[in-house]
Amino acid sequence: MRLLVTRPEPDASLTAAKLRVVGHEVMVEPLLTVTFNEAPADTPDPAALLITSQNAARAIARWPQMTDWLDKPVFAAGPATARAVTALGFSYVHAGAGGAGSLADMVIAWQPKNAGPLVYPAARDRAGELVGGLTALGYDVRMVEAYRADPARRFRPEIREAFATGSIDGVLIYSDRTAKAFLAVAAADAITETLARPDYFVISERVAETVRTVGARLHVAASPDEDSLLALIPAPS
């Protein structure tokens, strides 16, 4: 299959490499560009950390104070995020099944409410369910804006041409923000009518709801992680 990977770098290239190894042809078009903020100066000493993405792990890797926190428990949203945190040297990493709901469930199961602040390095644009839900239950959540993901404005010419000629067999979409950026860029490039041709491999039902508007064939991962998403893609014949 000729596949289009839309996630930000460096993850887009890592995914592309996995797909090429098994014989797929891959085009990479990151629709979000991640920029990391400076390390915060006044973050409290955490009782635990809440890490919802690999980019959040990359963000705190830039913070000098992180080395003082390696013995703190970390609640990671999914297995890939947990691996990224473990690679930074943290000793006590709890891996969820994926998504903010899974992470919140782990916190409730393992972290006492009165243990102290939960430091949450977050994206600028984010859903509010994690902070709101845990705060309502009595947890002291300290959100720090650690990075932002800015959407692309246009496709590269070769991507527009590939959609126009119907030469893209499948599109991989890993987040709802990416899905919305994808639709916005397609509208800006006036190629919306070509979007129904490929299959779409998406990481969750929430993403599927956004992509469903193009009228294409949708394949939704059984759980919100890359292994489950890649399992949807047929092996090259």
37-50 average pLDDT score: 94
Give the pLDDT band of residue 97 (cuts 50, 70, 90). Answer: confident
Over the chain, what is the mean pLDDT? Answer: 94
pLDDT at 11: 94
Measured in whole angstroms, how far is the alpha carbon of residue 28 from the centre of its chain?
16
Which residues, in sequence order, are CB contacts of 113 under 8 Å at separation 6+?
Answer: 137, 138, 139
Helix axis angle for 129-136 and 100-110, nearest 10°, is: 30
Which residues, in sequence order, are CB contacts of 193 under 8 Å at separation 6+?
Answer: none
Higher per-residue pLDDT: 96 or 165: 165
Residues of the chain with CATH 3.40.50.10090: 2-31+152-230, 34-149
pLDDT at 125: 85
Give the SS3 label for residue 128: coil
pLDDT at 66: 96
pLDDT at 102: 85
pLDDT at 164: 94
Out of 3.30.1330.30, 3.40.50.10090, 3.90.1170.50, 3.60.20.10, select the CATH number for domain 2-31+152-230.
3.40.50.10090
Give the pLDDT band of residue 70 (cuts 50, 70, 90). Answer: very high
Tokens 């590269």, located at residue: 156
CA triplet 75, 224, 215: central angle to 5 degrees?
150
pLDDT at 99: 75
User: Does the pLDDT value for residue 127 go beyond 70?
Assistant: no
pLDDT at 4: 98
Distance between CA atoms of residues 57 and 82, nearest Å: 9
Amino acid at 79: P
- Go through 87-110 and write b for each residue having 16 or more CB atoms within 10 A of its CB, e for each that does not: ebebeebbbbebbbebbbebbeee
User: Does the pLDDT value for residue 126 go beyond 80?
Assistant: no
User: Does the pLDDT value for residue 182 go beyond 90?
Assistant: yes
pLDDT at 143: 94
CATH topology of domain 34-149: Rossmann fold (3.40.50)
User: Does the pLDDT value for residue 84 go beyond 80?
Assistant: yes
Question: Is the pTM for the entire model greater than 0.75?
Answer: yes
Give the pLDDT band of residue 20 (cuts 50, 70, 90). Answer: very high
Give the pLDDT band of residue 128 (cuts 50, 70, 90). Answer: low
pLDDT at 213: 92
Percent of the chain with pLDDT over 70: 99
Per-residue pLDDT of 144-155, as tens digits, reads: 999 999 999 999
